[in-house]
Structure formats: structure tokens, C-alpha cells
Chain A
Amino acid sequence: MNEIDLVRDLLDRPPPPSGAVRSRALTRLEEDMSGGRPRRLAFGPRFRLGLAGLVAAGAAAAVGVATLGDGAPAAPPRPRAVEMDARTVLLAAAQQAEKEPTGRYWRVQTVDGSAYHVGPAEGGYTVLGHSSHTDRWQARSDGDRDVTYVRDLGARPLGPRDEAAWRKAGSPKTFKVVSGGEPSVLSTVPGRTTGAAPASWTPEIVVTPAQKRTRNARWAKICAGPDERAKRLLVFKGGCREVPSDAELRKAAGDPGKLRRVLSPWLELDGVPKERDTSALRLRRAARLLTSEALSPKVRAGVFRLLADEPGVRSIGRVKDPRGREGVALVARGAPAEDGSVDDYRLILEPGTHRILAGVDVVVRPAEADRGMRPGTLHGQRVVLSLGWTNETPRHP
């Protein structure tokens, strides 16, 4: 036995991390990954949960996504004479966001999902998988707990046309798809897909005030220190830069350059190469901030105002969101991916209130693995069921 073996023995392999530890880690990663964009991939033991009724009522849900989901050719934008342009919509959204009341928790309920093609390019069909319902309560104060609940919704054919093809194929309960370049199997039964959240709500996934204190202390120490590498490595949400105060934002509100400077830590895309740093990515990133982060009304308004100056964001007028709700869509074209595929990113707002209804990816040019997907097919979704500040006590629906 040599000293390397002795070291192995001494530093005994611990038992694998508990489900709660994994869940917490994945929840944190997910928040970072989601960047406001719909999930496209297996999030394993994860905890985004799905609107139950939504999925269970397969038919209703399918109808809901029909406008985006059934692989019909992309509907051409239907701007009406009275449609507002993107800038007008976003400035109106900023005004409304600024007026929203705050509360103890920022609560967001979302239903995520990614589309996968099943079978041959011709004659196959598209399913929505890795779809889960998440109910996330972020405390405004570090003295309160953050709580998340997640539930898997199971996979299902995306639209009516897909459902017909699925029935014709014998209504299989599992789907062989390519996910992240690897073969993967989705199950229609909630909780059965590998890595999915359970079919019923997870127990509370909690970040305690003590954990927040530890984290904040560690970050503060790193930020005060000289180690730039550590700052980049460990401190998120804009590195060690301060979150802008409401006062700063108020001062910057009318000055796009200034606003960009104070908000840039929040919108910066660390390490993104120039060619992919597009309006689509910034729209996605902004959508993430506007949904996933507990931000003050002033900051949210500021983010909307920044978007108003994004040259690549267009309004395409009225659309239906994946649940079938009427919305106004802002769209930006994504950069071609390594595999040559191109998606549009759409942020769908509720007419009148300008609240966020959904962020969706729509196929412009499919990747090889998705070659059965036609342009216009929904590629991924994050549907927002509800969001806003609340004084209620965390609980799932």
C-alpha cells in the first residue's frame, strides 16, 4: 500500500449527497441556466413543477399550445395598423411595472417544457417533455426563507396534429428522443422521465436565513479581497458589483446610457462571444430577470426600459401563448447555433397589463436532431402562470 492509497483511505468517500442537497444545488443552477429561457433539457431530479391541471387535461393543454405547437408553418406576423411597436409596448410595460406593490415574497409559478421530435422527420411528431410546474417564493428579506416546490407533468404530444400522429402510432407512453446530443427516453407518466421531479409536489426546497448569511459572508469576504479569479468564480448576480439602489435607478431612468451602466451587471452575459451576444439573448436574459429574480418595481421598470432600446427586438402583434391566452409578442432572432439551427425568442405579454405571460423559443431553422420540426414549431417554453409580490405564507397550489 502506498501513500496515495492511504490518502484515499483516510479521506473516506462520504455517502452520496441527499436528495435535498442535490435539489438545492440544481435549483440554484437552474435559476442561472434558465436565464428566462424555456427549458430544453433534462433537468433531472429537478423540481420545476407543472401546472397540474394543465397537463392532466392533455387535450385542453394541447389546444392551448396549438397556435405555436402543432408544427404548422409559422404564421406570418400579423401586425395590425393599431399595434404598438416594440418600444411603445416596452415603455408601457415599464410604467406599469413601476407601479406594482411589493410584499414579503416574490412568487413565480411557471410551467416549463422543451419540444422534441419523435420518429422520422416525415411522419414523426413533436412532444413537449421535461415539463414541470415550479412554484418559487423568494423572500425580499434575507431573514426569511426562500422556498421552492416542483412537480413533473410528464411528456405529451405538442399540438393536435402531433396528437393525431401519436395516436396513429399507437399512443405510446414513452418517447425516444435526442436530448443534449444523447439518446433519452421521455415518459408521459409524470415523474417517470429519468431525472424528472416527482409527480406530486416536492417537499419544500428551502434556503434558510442561516444559509443566506453564510453565503453572503463568504461573498463579502471574497469581494473585499484581492482575488479577481475568486470574484469571477464564485460571486454571481453581477459579480461583486452592487445591485443598484432604487435611488440610483430613479436618477438613471430617463438616461438610457446611465441606465445601462447601473443595470449592466444584471444583464451582462458572462463569457458570451460577440457573435452570440444578440438582442435575442438580451431579451431572454431580461425575461429571466423579470421573472426569476426578486427585484424592486424600479429595477423591473428599468429592465423594460433598457429593452425598449434594443434594436433587434420587434413587435409581432397578437399571438396566443402556449396556454392559449391572448398576448402581445416581442421577438428577437437568435444567432445560429453550432449545429446551424436558429430560433426566435418571443416574450409574450398580456395586452393592457403588460404582465409577462410566457417566453418561448420558436424554430426558424431546425437542428439535425430536430429535423422533423418545421419552422414555427414551439421549441421550448416557460409559461408564467402567476408572478408578483405577495405577503402570503409559502405553500404550493
Chain B
Amino acid sequence: MDQSRPPDGDVAAIVRSRREPEAFAEVFHRHFDEIHGYIARRLGTDAADDLAAETFLAAFRRRDRFDPRRGPVRPWLYGIATNVVGLHRRAERRHYRALASSPAEGPAPGHEEHVTGRVRAGEVGPDLARALARLPAGDRDVLLLVALADLSYEEVAAALDLKKGTVASRLNRARRKLREALGGTNPMLITEESPA
């Protein structure tokens, strides 16, 4: 809410685009691939091809409502992309179920790869994917903005128009449900409680 913060290049492009719509192309060029990736991870690549385009059209249409005091452009775009994904909940659940039923890709990790404590999701993938499909939509949105978009709590709150406390409680609930789905107290799952 710091009004004196100098606008970043994105903000300048959006502000400029209110008068010169073409300036919005800069926002597209900077963020399209990333937003496309986010949607692809939630709905699959085919859907993302179309919906990423719609996300930017929607963002362009709403550029007058972008408020620099509420944060930078990237979380704002993620919020719109999340809303667009939200119009396709059923397809999203289908996507996760498809992941659950397809074998993990790539060679199975050798034992030595466990040295670092990292476990490929492939081993728990089906359970995890099913759990994702079962999460309440609002909780999943928060979880995936943290996990896939690396947004902070504040940014998720701004992106989804939620209170920060709501973000924290949704995230905790989502994480708890995933942990439970993966066997509850699986010692492999070291759950640092630091904000992602």
C-alpha cells in the first residue's frame, strides 16, 4: 500500500496501456510463457494454449482496474489466470485424475537419488494427484499459487482478493489434506512450516 513506491516496468506498461492499448503487448511478452505454463500445469497444454490467450485478453480488458498500490503485475496476472482456470474446474479435476492413472514418467530414480532426501513425486504421484482433484477449489487455488507461481501470502491475497489470514488457513488446510492423502505421518515428508 506504499503509494510512493516507484512503478516497475510492468506497472508503467499497464498505466501507459490505458491510453495506448498497444503498450499492453509488453505485459504479454514478459509474462505469457509463464502464465501459459501455470495454466498448462493445472489443465494441460492444449487447454493452456487457448486459456492463456484468454487470460491476457481478460487482463487487457481489466487494465483500468489494476491498482499498483495493491502490488505488482505478476500476481495480478496470476489471479486472473486462476479465475480463468476456475471456469474449468471439471477439466482441472479430470487433468489430475489422468495424472493419477498414468505411470510416472521417466526412469525410476535410483537409490542414490534419495541421498538428498528428495523423493520424486512419481512414487506418490497417483495419491497426490487424486488428493489435488479432491481439494476444495479455493484451497487448491491458494496452494497452487504458492507451489507453482511462488507467490507470497500477501501476493496470493492480492491475486485472489482474500485476506492474508484466509490465505494462510486455506494453505494449511490444503497441505494437511495432501499429507493425509500421502499417508499422514510419512517421515519422508519433512514439512517445514515456513511460508513457501
Chain A residues with CB under 8 Å of chain B are 1-14, 16-17, 21-22, 24-26, 28-30, 32-35, 37-46, 114, 179-182, 195, 211, 214-215, 222, 227, 229-230, 232-234, 236, 270-273, 276, 334, 337-339, 341, 380
- Asked if A33 and B87 sit within 8 Å, CB to CB, the answer is no
Residue B26 contacts which of A16, A42, A230, A339 (CB distance < 8 angstroms)? A42
19 residue pairs bridging A and B, Cβ less than 8 Å apart = A1-B188, A3-B175, A4-B147, A6-B189, A7-B148, A7-B178, A17-B52, A21-B49, A25-B36, A25-B49, A33-B25, A37-B22, A40-B23, A43-B25, A181-B13, A227-B87, A271-B65, A338-B18, A380-B22
The complex places the Cα of A25 from the Cα of B52 at a distance, in Å, of: 8
> How far in angstroms is the closest Cβ of chain A from B58?
5
Chain B: interface residue total (CB-CB under 8 A)? 73
What residues on B are CB-neighbors of A380 within 8 Å? 20, 22
Are the CB atoms of B13 and A180 closer together than 8 Å? yes
**CB 8 Å contact bits of B160-191 with A (1 = contact, 0 = none):** 00000000000000010011001000001111
Q: Chain A residues near B48 (CB, 8 Å)?
A: 14, 17
| Smallest beta-carbon distance B144→chain A, Å | 7
| B178 nearest in chain A by CB position | A3
Chain B residue nearest in CB terms to A233: B58
CB of B158 closer than 8 Å to a CB of A? no
DSSP class of B's interface residues: helix, strand, loop or mixed?
A: helix
Indicate whether B33 reaches chain A with its CB closer than 8 angstroms.
Answer: yes
**Top 6 A-B pairs ranked by shortest CB distance?**
A181-B12, A9-B121, A25-B53, A10-B121, A11-B41, A271-B64
Q: Could you tell me which residues of chain B, from 92 to 124, have a CB within 8 Å of some CB in chain A?
A: 99, 105, 117-122, 124
Q: Which residues of B in the span 38-57 have a Cβ within 8 Å of any Cβ on A?
A: 40-42, 45, 48-50, 52-54, 56-57
Question: Shortest distance in angstroms between A231's beta carbon and chain B's nearest beta carbon?
Answer: 10
For A33, A43, A215, A270, the residue with the greatest tally of chain B CB atoms inside 10 Å of its CB is: A33
User: Is B71 an interface position by the 8 A CB rule?
Assistant: no
B128 engages A42 (CB within 8 Å): no
**A1–B143 alpha-carbon span in the complex (Å):** 16
B77 to chain A minimum Cβ distance, whole angstroms, is 13
Measured between alpha carbons, how far is A306 from B111 in the docked complex, in Å? 73
Which chain B residue shows the least CB distance to A284? B21
CA distance A313 to B62 in the complex (A): 27
C-alpha spacing A25/B192, complex, angstroms: 39
Given A7-B121, A9-B121 in contact, is the A41-B20 Cβ separation under 8 Å?
yes
Q: How far apart sit A369 and B105, CA to CA, in the bound complex (Å)?
A: 52
When chains A and B are docked, how far (Å) is the Cα of A24 from the Cα of B18?
Answer: 23
Is residue B129 contacting chain A, with contact meaning CB distance below 8 A?
A: yes
A28 to B189, CA, bound (A): 44
The closest CB in chain B to the CB of A222 belongs to B87
Task: Give every chain B residue within 8 A of A25 (Cβ-Cβ).
Answer: 28, 32, 36, 49, 52-53, 56
